[in-house]
Structure 1
Amino acid sequence: MHLTAPATPRTQPQPRTRDADGMAVASFILGLLGLLVLNLFLGPTAIALAAVALWRGTARKGRAYLGLFLGVADLAVLGIAIAASHTVSWSL
């Protein structure tokens, strides 16, 4: 009589992949927020998080690429705002 359960492989995702998925989502959210406020800070942060998430092999590649695109768009909006108003800050 066996009192222990047979050994089965774990089906949980590895922590590294889960972290990468979280980074992809965070990149998307920060890139989206960066279009409205603090785009000088949030744009590069979104780009960095998306790059790390893609490098670690996230399962949410679409969100990571979208976060990367939004981070670049944040910097483009900032560049256009600086060119239009000749200042680092801008308002609606």
Structure 2
Amino acid sequence: MGDGTRRADSMAVASFVLGLVGLLVLNVVLGPMAIALACIALRTGTARRGRALLGLGLGFADLLVLAALTAANGTVVWNFG
């Protein structure tokens, strides 16, 4: 496994983790980061294609959650309760 593939695999896993965490906190920041890392990982040929696609989907889900909460509250700040 080459250094480039290892780096792309790391980006795929990072996009998945950032997308997952972004569903709960900082989705305005973590969502776009997850999308960017997933796109780079897919473009450079990661062996973890499934994780990169999940990271891509979760990044877009982060932005959808942000849009829904913004529409419901009228602000980017939200809380439980």
Structure 2: any 5+ residue segments left out of the alignment? none
For structure 1, which runs of at least 5 residues remain unmatched after alignment?
1-12
Query: Aligned partners of 1:64, 1:22: CA distance in 2, in Å?
Result: 10
Deviation at 1:91, TM superposition (A): 1.2
The structure with the largest alpha-carbon Rg is 1
Say whether 1:26 aligns with 2:18: no
TM-score by length of 1: 0.86
The equivalences for 1:1-16 within 5 A come to: 13-16=1-4
State how far apart, in whole Å, the 1-side matches of 2:9 and 2:79 are.
Answer: 33
Q: For residue 70 of structure 2, what is the aligned residue in structure 1? A: 82
Q: Residues of 2 paired with 1:28 and 1:58: CA distance? A: 13
Pairing 1:65–2:45 present:
no
Within-5 A mapping of 1:40-51? 40-51=28-39
Equivalent position SS for 2:14: helix
Aligned-residue CA RMSD in angstroms? 0.4
Tell me how far 1:24 sits from its aligned partner: 0.2
**Which residue number in structure 2 is paired with residue 5 of structure 1?**
none
Q: Which runs of 4+ in 1 moved over 3 A?
A: none
- SS at the partner of 2:33? helix
What percentage of aligned pairs have identical amino acids? 64
Offset at residue 89 of structure 1 (A) = 1.1
Identify which of structures 1 and 2 has the higher relative contact order when contacts are C-alpha pairs closer than 8 Å and 6+ apart.
2
